[in-house]
Each structure stands twice: as structure tokens, then as C-alpha cells.
A and B are shown apart, each in its own frame.
Chain A
Amino acid sequence: MGSTSGENENNGTAGVGRRDLIRRSAALGLISVPAMGFLSACASGGGSDDNSSGNDQGKTSKSNPFGAKKGTKLDVVIFKGGYGDDYAKAWEADFAKDPGITSTHTGTQEITGKLQPRFNAGNPPDIVDDSGAQQIKVDVLYKNGQLLDLAPVLDAPSVDDPGKKVRDMLIPGTLDPGIQEGKVVALNYIYTVWGLWYSGKLFKDKGWEPPKTWDDFIKVCQAAKKDGIGGLAHQGKYPYYINVAIMDMIAKKGGLDAVKAIDNLDPKAFVGSDAAQAGVEAIYEVVEKGLLMPGTNGLTHTESQTRWNQYKAAFITCGSWLENEQLKQTPADFDMKFLPMPLLPGSKMPFEAIRAGSGEPFIIPAKAKNLPGAKEFMRHMLSKEWSTLFAKEANSLTILKDGVDASVKLRPGTQSTVEASKAAGDNTFRYLYPDWYSEMDTAIQNASNELMAKRIQPKEWLKRCQAAVDKQAKDPASKKNRHE
């Protein structure tokens, strides 16, 4: 080729080349889209084959009902929150010795971030403590068919007494919050009581008596206010906490019927319910009389609980994780004490009645690789040995009846919850709607936040809550949940 023609060609192709390039790259884009679709179909649709229990299935025997196989691996994910994750490490060390299954341990607060992709891809861990602010809601997981029905574990022989089933060794009612549509799919492992908390030292110094009636409660708050401190503190940035107090007042006033009316989405759960009205008006009395700790509506849980530890308020509302959560902030002579919600006149439940139940859901994913190992792990969790390990490491009780060795000395707050739940006996109650209906729960919490800030009155609160209930009742799926 001559140089002239070459130049010409170059000039010519420069233009064509650009256009060509654009055309071809567009074509490339068109090809690559379906190609990627193919690839990602592999990525997101995989794992649907039921290949569990394949190689990890060993021989079953009396002491090994699921056939957990020595030398296999278990993938354990633990929510590392108020209770830490040392207890789980102690369990895993024991599990490596006894059935001889070693665990990969993940302690994290980001349950959703770490696990949502794994659930979607079909390679979830073997056992998960699905808790904390970033938990994957159990109702959501269940609806996606990701949870194993735990009945085989609960019907297996107990580690401590092989003559009995595991489920007969537990505190009655503690399995209920893990039920979705009649099946236990989450094991709520930690036994929690909810109510008011106060400092034994502060009350002794001031000469106050722990109140049993709502009138006495208001009087203590007023005395506190006179002394320049707040009456009631709550963790306002998370309306969950004050909402617990309101709902507990309703439950104690109206009895279990009031609780069930709300859980079962009764058209008169709030509006038209005397108990609901009395309960919310009682809490609003605290707001109206200015007995809240100043500014508490906007404080986070740590901020308000620390203020309370500094004797800036007489009471705070919380569950029994409070003591472990505040270990570092609590003065040595604080003498933390638990108090059931005080009683309104004409209440259907006695003063000793408390919201009590199990929290911290442990789940076994339906697509777990080592199902026998996971089931065996859970069976061990419900043994006295592991329950005691938990109490030692995390300062809390488990759902195992009489589950702590007498040799373990409890801290004052935890000790007072043990006494309170003994006094309560069968007088415990528990709402199930927060585990079933996240959206309705949010709407009720939102109304409570407005109530505490005095932007709405009890009447409007009742209306809003009823609207949330009615909205939820329209969802056909809600018919399958029943609080009996």
C-alpha cells in the first residue's frame, strides 16, 4: 500500500471507526445484559436444591438423637450485643470436646448485613442468634421459608434427664414468642422480665417505699421532683421502651383478655376498651404532671440509663438486660432493684404480675449445611451445664427451669428479677404482636412517642393504635396468627 492511500484510509476510517465503535459497543451491551442475567440467575437462584444433611449425617443413637457426626463443622453466628458472645465461645469449646464438632464463630451486631445475602444465596449458617437492632425479623424469615421447624429438637430427650423431652424442661410459655403460624421456628433462649427499675440506695436515702399502686407511684415521682430529680426516665429515642410500660398498664388493668384482644387484632382492642384507655391515661398523667426526667423523650437508651444511674431519676422502664448493659455505669452501692408495674384501681391482674418471657431468638436455617450438628447444639443449649455457662458469662437467666447451678452468685438486679418471677408465679403475660406485625408495632410506638411529647392526647393515641390494628387485620396472612 502506498502512503497516500494509507492516509486516505486513515482519514476515512477515523469517522467510520468512531460510529462503528459506538454501534458495536451498544451491541455489546445488548449481548452482555442477557449474559449477566444468566450469570446472576446462577448466583441468586442457587442453593435451592436440598442438599443438607448429605455428608454431615452420622449414626443416630440414644445419646445422639440427630446423628451429629464427629469431625464435622458448625457455622455459628451470635449477636454480640448486651450479652456479649463469650458465653457462645464457652459453649463451642465444650461442643468441640463432646460430640467433637468444631465451630466457626462469628460474633457481630450486623446480623442483617452479614446474613441477608447468605439467606438469599441459599448458604446460611447452621445456627444463628438473630437478635439486636439489626436482626432479620423472624416473621420475615419465616414467610420466606428459611426457618427449620424446631419440633424435633424440643421432642428429643433432654441432656440432663434422658427420660424427659427437652420441651418439658422449660419454663411454661417461653416457647410462645417463637411460634409462627403454630410452629416453633425460633428458640427465644433468654428469660427476661420487664417493668420498672429503681436504686435501692436512693430509695433508702430518701425514705421512699417501692410503690404498689399507681397513686403511690405518682407520689414517689412527685417527691423526687421536689428533691430536684426526675420521676420517670425512659429511653425516648427508642419509643419501644415507654411503649412497653403503656402496654403493661393495659395488660394489668384488663387482664389477659386485653392482651389477646390486641394480639388477635380485635376491632375494639384500643378504641372502646376501658383497659386501654385507663392504661394510656395513667402514663399520660406522668407527662401532664411534669414528672418525666427532663429531656428524657429525646435520649438514647445509654444516655437515659446512665442518667438514671447518676440518680437523676427515681424510676426507669426496661427489661432485665438492663443490669448487664449498665455494668460499667452502675455505682458499686447502687443496689439495682426490679419493680413490677404499679397497679391501677380495679385491675384484673395482681400487683406481682409481670411481663415475662423469652427473648433473644436462636434459629436454625432450613438450608443449614450441618443440620444434625445444629440440632444437637440447640439440645445442648437447653442443658443445665450450658445454661449455667450462660448465666456466668452474661448475667442473665435462660428459659431452662431452675437452670442455674446454686453455686453461681447473681448480681442484685438479676437476683431481684428471680424473686419477682417467683412471686409472679403463673401471673405472667406477654404480647405477641411485635413478633408478628412489625409495621403495626412501629405505628403504636410512633403514637406513644407523640403522646410522651404531649403532641397528642390519650384519645388520639387510642385512635391511632386502633387504626394500626385495623390496617393489620386487613392483611389475610394475619388470620393464621392466634394468641389463645
Chain B
Amino acid sequence: MRKGQYRFVAGFLFIPVLLYVVFVIWPYIQTFGYSLTDWKGQSQTFNFVGLDNYKALFQDDVFMAAIWHNLQFLVFIPVITILLALFFAFMLNAGGRSRAGGVQGVAGSKFYKVVYFFPQVLSLAILAVLFNAVYRSDGGGLLNGFLIKIHLVDPNNPIEWLNEPNVVLWALMVAVIWQGVGFYLVLFSAAMQSIPKDIYEAALIDGANRNQSFFRITLPLLWDTVQTAWVYLGIIAMDMFVLVSSMTQNMGAYGGGPDHHSDVMATVMMRNFLYYGKSGYACAMGVIMLLLTLVLSVFTLRVTRRERIEF
């Protein structure tokens, strides 16, 4: 009995652990190994160079700027997405006029919920195509076309949204947020619906207004879900490879322009790995990315740790 139980548990654990080791842990270890070499990416010949790649990394302005861009994404994408999603979710679930019936969403909330979810079903590649059409740099672009129609932009001098150093990061963020809000809205809605209505009704009876019931009841009870959303969005913000490489001005390969103003760690890494043939150096970037992501997830989980309320 006892032995059988042990084997039973080990049997279940063995395969997942093995898979994890082979496909996750081992590649990380390999990457670390390659990061200490001058590997050029297309054969298995290379020399050991110690920590030279890491030293060069911290003097690489392009990579340092890329980290900074990722950090900016990391702050703004989760904050804006979560705030918008929370606001919409609250309006859809508890934001309606309070009638005798108690708490409910604004009129047509079921319809909105479906509509808000639409962008989420688009793949990132389609998102890039869509927003390329929005930001297109001549009168054929949605934004420029509109602004030219209302005479805010000179047709001979349209705004090159993705070719403006100060605009490009924000333009990318808008695309990500536009896509993300719907999903987190649905996530938060589900969580809100599991909050018992009587708590709201009790608050209503005590004379709480919308703001008060949101900040005193909804937000605290949603904290777990917000935390999950934060981690997911943080992962998206640390990546951004697809949108940057398919929307921005080409810096040799994988976008990143103008003048590296939209480069993120992943695009710089790929450019070095494949286009420049500096694969060992790129592996060092990969290791730094891993470390940063680890630090951030630990940090996020620590900071947002709260007491759990059961209901």
C-alpha cells in the first residue's frame, strides 16, 4: 500500500518533471553556456570568452535603451489596461442606475461584454496588420486620413506615427491595450459576479455611492484577479517582439526604429543572434532577460501579496 502510493505519485511526477527539465531548464542552461562563448550561430565551433559578452552588454547603448523601453512598457501597459478593464467591468456589472431591484450594470451591458472581447480573438499578426493600417504614414492611413479630413494635418506633411521617436512607443502601447482590455474586462467581470450581491446591497443601504462601493468593496475583493492580470500583462510587456518587429522602421532586421527608439530586448537579441551572427552575445542578452523576468515576477508577487478574503 505504502510502496504503491509512492510509486503512483512518482509515476505522475516523473514525466512532467522530465519534460520540464528537457524543454525548459536544459535550454536555459545551454543558453548560459553559449553566452560565455563567441558562438556565431550556424555551426558548433566556438571559443570560450568568459564574461566578455556580459561586459560588452552593459556598454551596448542599443540594448540598454531596449531594457528601458521594456521597463516603460512594464509600467504603462499593465496600469492602463487594468484601470480601463476595471472601470469597464465595474460599469458593466455594478455601474447601472440603482433601482429598486438592487445592483446591476449599465443598459446593454451583455452586448458590450461581447463586443469588448472581439479584439482578443485576433492574433498578434493580425493586430499588427490592423494597426499598421491605422498608423499608415500617408493619407491612406486611418488616423492621418481622418486628421486630414478635419484639417488638423497638412496632406503634404502627414504624421509618420511609427517613425516619430517620441510617439512610436505610445503607438505600440495603444495597440496592445486595445487588444488586452477586453480579455481583462471579462476576467474581472467573472470575478465581480462571484462577489455576493448582498454586500453591495448592504453598502447601498448604508448610503455608499458608486465610487465608494468600487474602492471599498469591489477592488479589495478582486485583488487576487488583479494580481494575476498584472503578471500576465507584465510578461507581455517584457516581450513585445511581434509588434515591434512587424510595425516599426526596419533597423537591419526585426524593426526597432526609428534610430532604435522602439527596440525591445527581444528584437535586439534576435538581430544579434541571426542578422549580425553574434549568437553568443545574443545568448548573454537572453540570460539577462531571464534574470530580469525572474526578479520582476518575484517582486510582483511579493508586493501584491494581501490577505485573502473567503466568501
Instruction: Check if A450 is an interface residue, CB within 8 A of chain B.
Output: yes
Q: Is the CB of A446 within 8 A of B260?
A: yes
Residues facing A in B230-272 (CB within 8 A) are 249-253, 257-260, 271
- One digit per residue, 1 when the CB lies within 8 angstroms of any chain A CB and 0 when it does not, for chain B 1-45 equals 110011001100110011001100110011000000000111111
Q: How far is the CA of A22 from the CA of B133 in the complex (A)?
A: 54
User: Which residues in A have their C-beta under 8 angstroms from that of B146?
Assistant: none
Q: How far is the CA of A143 from the CA of B45 in the complex (A)?
A: 10
- One digit per residue, 1 when the CB lies within 8 angstroms of any chain A CB and 0 when it does not, for chain B 185-199 equals 000000000000000
Q: How far is the CA of A136 from the CA of B22 in the complex (A)?
A: 27
Q: Is the CB of B14 within 8 A of A28?
A: yes
Q: How far is the CA of A297 from the CA of B274 in the complex (A)?
A: 26
User: Which residues in A have their C-beta under 8 angstroms from that of B17?
Assistant: 25, 28-29
Q: How far is the CA of A87 from the CA of B188 in the complex (A)?
A: 56
Q: Is the CB of A298 within 8 A of B162?
A: yes
Q: Is the CB of B43 within 8 A of A145?
A: yes
Given contacts A144-B42, A146-B43, A298-B161, contact A33 B2 (CB under 8 A): no
Instruction: Check if B180 is an interface residue, CB within 8 A of chain A.
Output: no
Instruction: Check if A478 is an interface residue, CB within 8 A of chain B.
Output: no
Q: Is the CB of A9 within 8 A of B2?
A: yes
Q: Which of A29, A36, A122, A237 has the most CB of B within 10 A?
A: A237
Residues facing B in A1-53 (CB within 8 A) are 6, 9-10, 13, 17, 20-21, 24-25, 28-29, 32-33, 36-37, 40, 44-45, 48
B208 CB, min distance to chain A CBs, angstroms: 47
Q: Is the CB of B251 within 8 A of A296?
A: no
Q: How far is the CA of A441 from the CA of B253 in the complex (A)?
A: 11
Instruction: Check if A141 is an interface residue, CB within 8 A of chain B.
Output: yes
Q: Is the CB of A297 within 8 A of B43?
A: no
User: Which residues in B have their C-beta under 8 angstroms from that of A238?
Assistant: 250
Given contacts A294-B158, A295-B144, A299-B138, contact A438 B42 (CB under 8 A): no
How extensive is the interface on chain A, given as a class?
Answer: 35 or more
- One digit per residue, 1 when the CB lies within 8 angstroms of any chain A CB and 0 when it does not, for chain B 145-167 equals 00000000001111011110100
Instruction: Check if A140 is an interface residue, CB within 8 A of chain B.
Output: yes
B2 CB, min distance to chain A CBs, angstroms: 5
Which of A10, A137, A298, A455 makes the CB contact (< 8 A) with B136? A298
User: Which residues in A have their C-beta under 8 angstroms from that of B58?
Assistant: none
Where chain A touches its partner, the secondary structure class is helix
Residues of B within 8 A of A (CB-CB), count: 54
Q: How far is the CA of A33 from the CA of B29 in the complex (A)?
A: 9
The interface-forming segment of A112-120, A315-323, A413-421 is: A112-120
Which of A122, A438, A450 makes the CB contact (< 8 A) with B276? A438
Q: Is the CB of B138 within 8 A of A137?
A: no
Instruction: Check if B280 is an interface residue, CB within 8 A of chain A.
Output: no
User: Which residues in A have their C-beta under 8 angstroms from that of B102?
Assistant: none
Q: Is the CB of B252 within 8 A of A136?
A: no
CB nearest neighbor in B for A39: B22
Instruction: Check if B105 is an interface residue, CB within 8 A of chain A.
Output: no
Residues facing B in A175-190 (CB within 8 A) are none
Q: Is the CB of B161 within 8 A of A139?
A: no
Which of B21, B22, B40, B275 makes the CB contact (< 8 A) with A144? B40
B57 CB, min distance to chain A CBs, angstroms: 15
Q: How far is the CA of A176 from the CA of B91 in the complex (A)?
A: 68
Which of B18, B157, B165, B249 makes the CB contact (< 8 A) with A294? B157
Residues facing B in A94-122 (CB within 8 A) are 112, 116, 119-120, 122
Q: Is the CB of B250 within 8 A of A239?
A: yes
User: Which residues in A have their C-beta under 8 angstroms from that of B260?
Assistant: 446
Instruction: Check if A303 is an interface residue, CB within 8 A of chain B.
Output: yes
Q: Which 7 A-B pairs have the closest CB atoms?
A: A298-B137, A295-B138, A442-B252, A140-B277, A144-B43, A144-B42, A298-B160
Can you report 11 A-B residue pairs in the complex whose CB atoms are below 8 A from each other? A36-B21, A44-B44, A112-B274, A144-B277, A297-B137, A298-B138, A298-B161, A298-B162, A439-B276, A441-B252, A450-B259
Residues of B within 8 A of A (CB): 1-2, 5-6, 9-10, 13-14, 17-18, 21-22, 25-26, 29-30, 40-45, 132, 135-141, 144, 155-158, 160-163, 165, 249-253, 257-260, 271, 274-277
Residues of A within 8 A of B (CB): 6, 9-10, 13, 17, 20-21, 24-25, 28-29, 32-33, 36-37, 40, 44-45, 48, 112, 116, 119-120, 122, 133, 136-137, 139-141, 143-146, 236-240, 290, 293-300, 303, 307, 438-439, 441-442, 445-446, 449-450, 453, 455
Given contacts A17-B5, A140-B276, 18 further A-B contacts (CB under 8 A): A21-B9, A25-B13, A112-B274, A116-B42, A120-B42, A137-B275, A143-B277, A145-B45, A236-B249, A239-B257, A293-B138, A295-B137, A295-B138, A299-B136, A439-B276, A442-B275, A445-B251, A453-B163
